[in-house]
Structure 1
Amino acid sequence: MAENEELTGPVSQEDLDAAEKFKNEANEYFKKQNYTIAIELYTKAIEKNPKSAVYYANRSICNLRLENFGYALTDASKAISLDKSYTKAYYRRAAAYMSLGKYKDALKDFHYVTKVRPNDQDAKLKYNECNKIAKKIAFEKAIAVDKKEVNIADAINLDAMTIEDEYEGPSLEDGKVTLKFVTELMEYYKNQKKLHKKYAYKILLDVKAYLQKQPSLVDITVGDEDKFTICGDIHGQYYDLMNIFKLNGLPSESNPYLFNGDFVDRGSFSVECIFTLFSFKLLYPNHFFMSRGNHETVDMNRVYGFRGEVTYKYSSQMADLFTEVYRWLPLAHCINTKVLVMHGGLFSKDDITLDDIRKVERNKEPPEDGIMCELLWSDPQAAYGRSASRRGVGCQFGPDVTAAFCERNGLSYIVRSHEVKNDGYEVGHYGKCITVFSAPNYCDAMGNLGAFITMNGKDLEPNFTTYEAVPHPDVKAMAYADSIIGGMFY
């Protein structure tokens, strides 16, 4: 946020009244989950009365729900500076810190609240939960061997896993994914049943072995008359994923797909989504592609539900194995040398080339800056140039940055995901930066359409298909999320 309010001098009664009116109006939009308009109105309230901690704290929670963690952190800190006893602002700031993986900072805020409100049981619970996470992370670092984590895949003994007689679900054939298997799996999942752990582990081990051989930037060739589909974030919305296949056909050698990251988290059917996608990856390795998103990472999975879901449905060991697999997902794809697809966006430096992306050592958690981080986290902006990210990670880049990058690398345009769009997609930067988001009514709350892109190899002209959310079983979004974040976000 860009306010530089002067806090000196009294605020007139007229401005106080106007500010409260804006705040009350913003609150109504907040209840309707229209966070963008709510932010605009809270901002107007702040302009009228920059001395109210409440306005900043309210805007902070809106930014949290839009995943603008950097802005949320700034607003919460501002609220605290205005009213050091305002505990809600400490909660907001702690949520922003946790979303950014800064658990020690979050712990300090929770600790403060427990000190000033010793009888607040909710504060104690949040402090204890955050403390457990911080200690677990410290323990994981302490037991790392030669700065590398233990290889979970090597510890999996498939031979020791038996298929019980009562299991009636889909089975791999000679240890391989077949069309029959994945078709049966999708129906099995629709009925809220669980794939046997032996097959689940086998899929993960096979996908890891395949991905380890892939480059960080995958080149894709699409024939002149061939169709190609790009999907954005799915976020654990399995029944909406099934609707994409209903609308656009199942993946096949003649109907290839690229899923552009954030397959999991937030939505509560992430296990079903990822095993379906990984099954298609194994079935059609040269016609089904998957990019890593910022939610295919340890910190995001720990906070936003995927780790909790995998642990609930299978085990913490499998959750650890997913981490290993995700680290080998490619970071970007280039279609016919003309269209670059990544989850987040472009870079804080001007001289980045496709070869620089190819050279990235990706088998790790993303660092806080640099090419890998920005591919997963950056966002476009309307203004020229660059600015600090509202998310607190990556950067924001303007149309001039996109044009220069495309010219330098011989690209026609870029496709990215990472952001909810009301229409499911957005064409920006004079047609050179396209956002596609494929999770309609995101988190059962946002009311947005989903979209996917189709094109042919001849002209690579993007065509957009939009769709509404479809019904799903009564399991709410964020059902498996960290209890601290789930409570503060929803």
Structure 2
Amino acid sequence: MASGDPVDVAPLNVTDADKAKAEAAKDAANKLFAAKNYEQAIEKYTEAISHNPNVAAYYANRGFAYIRSEFYAAAIRDADKAIELDPTYVKGYYRRATGNMALGKLKEAVKDFRAVCKVAPKDADARKKLADCEKELKRITFEAAIAFDEVKRSIKDMIGDVDSMVVDSSYDGPHLPETGVTLEFVKDMLEHMRKQKKLHRKYLYKILFAVKEYFEAQPPIIDVTIPEEGKITVCGDIHGQFYDLLHVLDVNGLPSETNAYLWNGDFVDRGSFSVECVTTLFAFKLLYPNSVFLSRGNHETNDMNRTYGFEGEVKAKYSDATFKLFSEIFNAIPIGNLINEKIFVIHGGLFSRDDVTMDEIRKIDRFKQPGSEGLMCELLWSDPQNEPGRSPSKRGVGIQFGPDVTEAFCKLNNLDMIIRSHEVKQDGYQVDHNGRCITIFSAPNYCDSVGNKGAYIHITPDLKLKYNQYSAVEHPPVKAMQYAGLGSMLM
């Protein structure tokens, strides 16, 4: 049994001593939760359940910790158990509704919020969440219905002739040269966006169309060679935290032919400066195509962007057509990078079967949304576990894979290790599976609330790894999830 899995079998007798131990573990878990140490809180709630599995609150509390850890399927399982133990327990319905909402199961979320409102009709928060979920469900249903009647227009037709767009004299930002992206332009663009000013839409479109054409010509997996006289820096999730991205560039240096970078997915969502983040990465990709590399993350997808803010941010700063252009680019971003033939860098993790080869991965059709199953989905969504073998994902998508799975994959494909991201780590990184599986996360104080460090990895041509940690820097008073809609309910 994996750590934190529900314990459903009650002992024959729950003694007073068992109950006391359970309450002590629960109290310890609550303190860990308050300190935002969700992983250890889950362990303590699990300990409480092991002593007394008959208390609905223990499951609901652990479910809340799972929600904060983004393990929504596990949260739903705990909510189910809490409701089974006490059908009138309001928090059980709250937790299940939140988990279903995060997984895009809005019908189920609406049903549970209605149950909360029935039991607690004066709960203003529940009534608001119910109304918001019902509104979003109607919007999605409406959009799906009219989609059948729409004639699909190309993005270029929707946006129009970019070259003929007029740049008003009041625009005080950088002007993109006719010859394309230059280092001077990128530096000026960073300073312009640092002041919370928008890049003119003409120049944004020129960058986006150019990078779209570039990515569409690339294979699913990119072979990366570390510069002989330099290094490559591997960064994990940045999630729209533009000012932390600027901090990395300030302390680690701008990309160059000897200072290569690999950003491993989840450039957008949650943080409220996602447009600035992804525009920066795309501009550097155009400037240094052989020194800057990107891997697609699970948040470079339409469902995630709708829930967690990127769609709303793009529409607020630019337009609906701009978001559709970003979506097409995300479909074209490579899904992995292979460093010096030995280090496989992917966003999520490994697969539900043992015989997956690099040759098979190189044949994945990535030009689409990843769906909820298959190699591409698992590559973007899966997580490591300490126990051998495989388990259902606590997220509800992908799988969990043990050290033996990682070992077998590396041996089959003659790899030293995999580097992945996808999970918040308090230290910014974590080494698992006997050094074969490394997690790197580069969004410090994630969502302005978690208090974690950020980190990146230096890798030199001899494949030596050095971990570098950093703390969050100040940013303008724009809260995380500013554009998130329903996603803001998950915080």
TM-score norm. by structure 2 comes to 0.93
Residue from 294, 300, 311 that aligns with 1:296: 300
Q: 2: CA distance between counterparts of 1:61 and 1:373?
A: 25
Cα distance in 1 between the residues matched to 2:158 and 2:179 = 19
Is the 1:19–1:46 Cα contact (8 Å) retained in structure 2? Answer: yes
Once the two structures are TM-superposed, the CA of residue 132 in structure 1 deviates from its matched residue by: 2.8
- 1:31 paired residue among 34, 45, 65: 34
**RMSD between aligned residues:** 2.2
1:19 has 2:22 as partner: yes
Match of 2:209 in 1: 205
Relative to structure 1, is the Cα distance of residues 194 and 441 closer, same or farther in structure 2, using a 3 angstrom cutoff?
same
CA contact (8 A) 1:144 1:150 kept: no
**3-state SS of the aligned residue for 2:181?**
coil
The 5-angstrom pairing of residues 411-430 of structure 1 reads: 411-430=415-434
Q: Does 1:408 align with 2:412?
A: yes
* Ranges in structure 1 where 5+ consecutive residues have no aligned partner: none
Secondary structure of residue in 1 paired with 2:332: coil
Aligned residue number for residue 470 of structure 1: 473
**Deviation of 1:10 (Å):** 6.5
Q: SS of 2:259's equivalent?
A: coil
Residue in structure 1 matched with residue 100 of structure 2 by the alignment? 97
Q: Which amino acid aligns with 2:205?
A: Y
Deviation, 1:145, is 5.8
- Partner residue, 1:384: 388
1:359 alignment partner, one of 337, 346, 363: 363
Q: Which residue of 1 aligns with 2:321?
A: 317
Contact 1:229 1:455 in 2 (8 A): yes
Letter in 1 for 2:279: F
C-alpha spacing 1:242/1:12, structure 2 compared with 1 (3 Å): same
Residue 262 of structure 1 pairs with residue 266 of structure 2? yes
Evaluate the alpha carbon distance shift between residue 410 and residue 153 of structure 1 in structure 2; reply closer, same or farther with a 3 A threshold: farther
Instruction: Provide the residue aligned with 1:343 in structure 2.
Output: 347
User: Which residue is 1:111 aligned to?
Assistant: 114
Query: Could you say what secondary structure the match of 2:30 adopts?
Result: helix
Which segment drifts farther, 314-323 or 402-411? 314-323
Identity %: 55
Match of 2:254 among 250, 258, 261: 250
- 1:322-337 maps to which residues of 2 (within 5 A)? 322-337=326-341
Aligned counterparts of 2:156 and 2:143: Cα–Cα separation in 1: 17
2:236 and 2:264 in contact (8 A); partners too: yes
- Cα drift, residue 288 of structure 1: 0.9
Moved more, 364-373 or 95-104: 95-104
Aligned residue for 1:415, secondary structure, equals strand
1:99 Cα offset (Å): 1.7
Q: What amino acid does structure 1 have at the position aligned with 2:456?
A: F
Q: Is the 8 A contact 1:292 1:343 kept in 2?
A: yes
Query: Structure 1 residues 485, 146: closer, same or farther in 2, change over 3 A?
Result: closer
Of 74, 77, 82 in structure 1, the residue corresponding to residue 80 of structure 2 is 77
Q: How much does 1:160 deviate? A: 5.8
> How many Å apart are 1:134 and its aligned residue?
2.4
The residue number in structure 1 matching 2:456 is: 452
User: Which residue of 159, 171, 185 corresponds with 1:156?
Assistant: 159
What CA deviation, in whole Å up to 9, does each residue of 1:240-290 have, x standing for no partner?
Answer: 111111221101222111100011111222121111111111111222111
Contact 1:388–1:395 (Cα < 8 Å) also in 2? yes
Count the aligned residue pairs: 487
Counterpart of 1:181, as a letter, is F
Q: Is the 8 A contact 1:94 1:110 kept in 2?
A: yes
Aligned equivalents of 1:322 and 1:134: distance in 2? Answer: 24
Distance in 2 of aligned mates of 1:119 and 1:294: 38
Question: 1:172 aligned to 154, 173, 176, which one?
Answer: 176
8 A Cα contact 2:165 2:202, kept in partner:
yes
Residue 86 of structure 1 and its aligned partner are, at CA, apart by 2.3
* Preserved CA contact (<8 Å) 2:230 2:460: yes
Aligned partners of 1:175 and 1:202 also within 8 Å = no
* CA deviation profile, 1:343-402 (whole Å, cap 9, x unmatched): 001111111111111111111111211110111011111222111112111111112111
Partner Cα distance (2:401, 2:46) in 1: 23
TM-score, normalised via structure 1 length: 0.93
Residues 402 and 8 (structure 1), Cα distance of their counterparts in 2 relative to 1, 3 Å cut: closer
